[in-house]
Amino acid sequence: ERGRVEEHISRIRFSLNILYNLPARLALGEVSEPAYAVDIRAGRILSASAHPGRKELTLCKVSMGRALTVITNVKGVEEGATYAISLLPPRRIGGVLSEGMFLGSEDGLLKVEKGEGELLRRVEDKYLKEVRREVLTFIRGD
């Protein structure tokens, strides 16, 4: 029961965030990239630990002005480092709620020098592939 309440609260927070930050995303100008439909922000890693139910995953607590959870399959996430993170619709992965995704490519995760929680205006296309896929899946309702 508590998990369902947590998930509903997270979905409401995600929806409000989309509406609240719409002016900042519109200020990007003419952008046809689906990945920019969600916020891409700088997030500092507060902690990174093994996922309690899935040994191949890492559970990260991230600070972006507020704390949130991001679950990743990428190894070597550094505590204290700041990465580009997309705020995605929350979903359960191995029973734990994840609220975002690290931006990465074959070169690794995208580290950023921006301040914690700051909106990232432009990101190289190679880092947007997975976010694009997640956004399009969400829009289609899959």
Residues 6+ apart with CB under 8 A from 26: none
Query: pLDDT digits over 49-91, tens only?
Result: 999 988 899 999 999 988 999 999 988 899 999 999 999 888 8
The structural domain count of the chain equals 1
pTM score of the predicted model: 0.81
- Residue numbers of the domain that contains 131: 2-140
CA nearest 91: which of 64, 119, 69? Answer: 69
CATH of the domain at 107: 2.40.50.140
